[in-house]
Structure 1
């Protein structure tokens, strides 16, 4: 069974939006929620290259 990656911003608005990868979630946050201004995203971006290069178990 594959984990569901949910958008936390959409969840607060009672909208269930799911993504296949954390990269897709990040793109959604940037595009639809303008998260570039959120300090927490600085931490996310700091570790982004390590996450993006990690192969998934289901390939």
Structure 2
């Protein structure tokens, strides 16, 4: 579950609740998460980064 704070129509803060995306980014042996969950965490992180760099706020 994610929440955001908008300022002048632009997302300036994103907070995820009961979720630690970083668990899916670490070595598989650290948290022993299944591959499918790790891929979802990586995709979510990539989507957040893509949004930050490419959203014009329009």
Structure with more of its chain in strand, by fraction:
2
- Same fold (TM > 0.5): no
Structure with more of its chain in helix, by fraction:
1
Structure with the larger RCO, 1 or 2 (CA within 8 Å, 6+ apart):
2
Give the shorter-chain TM-score range: 0.3 to 0.5
